[in-house]
Amino acid sequence: MDLQKTMVTKKIRDFGIMSVIRADVKTSLGIAEARLKGGVKLIELSFTEPTALTAIKEVKKAFPEIIVGAGTVLDAVTARIAILGGADFILSPAFDKEVALMANRYQVPYLPGCNTVSESVDAMTYGASFIKVFPGSALSGPKWIKIVKTPIPNMPILASGGGTFDNFNDFLNAGADCVAFEGLLVNGELAQIEENARKLTTQLSDYRKLH
């Protein structure tokens, strides 16, 4: 791998904004480029699409500065395929021990979706780099993060689902290390996606200057 686990984990935290793509290869490339122009260098390509592996390879080839994750990885076999295909990190909608072990074996960050404290702690025990609060909106997002971070302040959090301009700061205030967006960075013309990416990047920069 070009980037080891600790380096990618740091970049996920530093970049702070992740975008999810569920589309064919051509569309994925277009959206990835628009987001990159707007300053977003962290993307998830979901394995709900049959062309996800090809998309990972093509996006990394076209835009080497982008950190590319494989999303919706449900089993260790898919995780290994994604990692060997170039994925820099692995995301799952739920925690799976075998996926965690596979990611650790290849020193690739694993970001499993968790919605209970017990599940989150188990994921951390198995080496999860971030706990993916998913779906963020259904779990009262910032409120849930703040509650969990009170007794477990060192829990690294990726908030995924329901992110908007209006609640971005709320997620950050609650303790999210990174927030994943869909609608703002997927829907509409590429020029609008680029502008939304730029606005989110500026919003994050402004927030960090004050905190």
Q: State which H helix or E strand residue 30 sits in.
A: helix 25-37
What are φ and ψ of residue 27, in 5° steps?
A: -65, -40
Going by pLDDT thresholds of 50, 70 and 90, the confidence category of residue 136 is low
Calculate Rg over the CA atoms of the chain.
Answer: 16
User: What whole-number percentage of the chain has pLDDT above 90?
Assistant: 83
pLDDT (tens digit, 9 = 90+) per residue, 42-94? 999 999 999 999 999 999 999 999 999 999 999 999 999 999 999 999 999 99
* Number of structural domains found in the chain: 1
Evaluate if pTM is beyond 0.95.
no
pLDDT (mean) for 181-204: 94
User: pLDDT higher for 115 or 177?
Assistant: 177
Q: What is the CATH number of the domain that holds 96?
A: 3.20.20.70
How far is it, in rounded angstroms, from Cα 104 to Cα 34?
A: 32
Most distant CA atoms of the chain, gap in Å: 45
Extract the tokens encoding 178.
């990174």
Q: State which H helix or E strand residue 32 sits in.
A: helix 25-37
Average pLDDT, the chain: 93
Extract the tokens encoding 55.
């998309």
Task: Please report the pLDDT score of residue 3 as a whole number.
Answer: 59
Contact 58, 28 (CB under 8 A): yes
How far is it, in rounded angstroms, from Cα 203 to Cα 87?
A: 28
Going by pLDDT thresholds of 50, 70 and 90, the confidence category of residue 123 is very high
Extract the tokens encoding 56.
């990972």
Q: Which residue segment(s) compose the domain that 173 sits in?
A: 5-210
Half-sphere exposure for 152 (CA within 13 Å, toward CB)? 16
